[in-house]
């Protein structure tokens, strides 16, 4: 059965720490992997990854995809309390989009 | 960036009534829109793919007669929860991909449905 697995399920860090969130997948006809940040409402788009080894960066966030090992990581450096959220990984394969369960990140001041 | 709106943002209704949720792409056209539901502390589950001018495609286990989808124009899709029951209470979210970038999904703010 196709699936998307995120780890850890939850994480508590202090401001200034660096965190790495993981997303592994097992799907057929992989097209792309997306990362989203979800606070109180709908998810907001962070990154879309389609090629292995090419890092995408946006400020303190970065992400990379490994299509051989079938996983992606999302890094957040110098974390701030505003980074507290659920981070969702989603994989598009064929004409479907499937989400992982998410990682709950809490950044303490 | 692209904007997707949903209306209403929250709704409370009695069991047995029907509720319509609208999803609009505000500054772009979307021939396809997606509908998700999210239960508390769970991830988003794709319910159906809404196609402009044709029938929606439903995911396995989603009752098409209960969750009616109409994609009337290139900027509007509606989801009607018919004969709602308390177990239908959930957060319903729509998304739409930008034309030419089918994999980048922009999400609406979501609709919180509570069925009493």
A51-107 pLDDT per residue, tens: 999 999 999 999 999 999 999 999 999 999 999 999 999 998 876 778 899 999 999
Whole-number Å distance between alpha carbons of B64 and A81 = 42
Q: Determine whether the interchain pair B107/A97 forms a contact, defined as Cβ–Cβ distance below 8 Å.
A: no
Q: Which residue of A has its CA nearest to B48?
A: A96
Per-residue pLDDT 10s for chain B (116 aa) are 568 999 999 999 999 999 999 999 998 888 889 999 988 878 888 899 998 888 999 998 999 999 999 998 999 999 999 999 999 999 999 998 876 565 677 889 899 999 99
Whole-number Å distance between alpha carbons of A53 and A64 = 6
User: In degrees, to the nearest 5, what angle opens at C-alpha B110 toward C-alphas A50 and B46?
Assistant: 50
Count contacts between A and B (CB, < 8 Å).
44
| pLDDT exceeds cutoff 70 at A8 | yes
If DSSP codes are grouped into helix, strand and coil, which group holds residue A62?
strand
Residues of A in contact with B105 (CB under 8 A): 34, 45, 90, 97
């Amino acid at each position: 059965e196709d699936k998307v697995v995120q780890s850890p399920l939850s994480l508590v860090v202090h401001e200034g720490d660096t965190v790495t969130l993981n997303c592994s997948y097992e799907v057929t006809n992989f097209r792309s992997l997306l990362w989203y940040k979800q606070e109180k409402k709908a998810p907001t788009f962070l990154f879309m990854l389609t090629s292995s080894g090419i890092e995408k960066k946006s400020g303190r966030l970065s992400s990379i995809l490994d299509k051989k090992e079938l996983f992606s990581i999302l890094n957040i450096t110098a974390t701030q309390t505003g980074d507290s959220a659920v981070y969702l990984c989603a994989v598009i394969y064929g004409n479907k989009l499937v989400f992982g369960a998410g990682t709950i990140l809490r950044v303490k001041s | 960036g692209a904007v997707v709106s949903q209306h209403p943002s929250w709704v409370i209704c009695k069991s047995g009534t029907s509720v319509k949720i609208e999803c609009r792409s505000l500054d772009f056209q979307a021939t396809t829109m997606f509908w998700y539901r999210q239960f508390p502390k769970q991830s988003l589950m794709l319910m159906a793919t809404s196609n402009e001018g044709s029938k929606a495609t439903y995911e396995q286990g989603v009752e098409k007669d209960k969750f009616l989808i109409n994609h009337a124009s290139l900027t509007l899709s509606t989801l009607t929860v018919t004969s709602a029951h308390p177990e239908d209470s959930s957060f319903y979210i729509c998304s739409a991909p930008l034309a030419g970038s089918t994999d980048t999904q922009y999400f609406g703010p979501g609709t919180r449905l509570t069925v009493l």
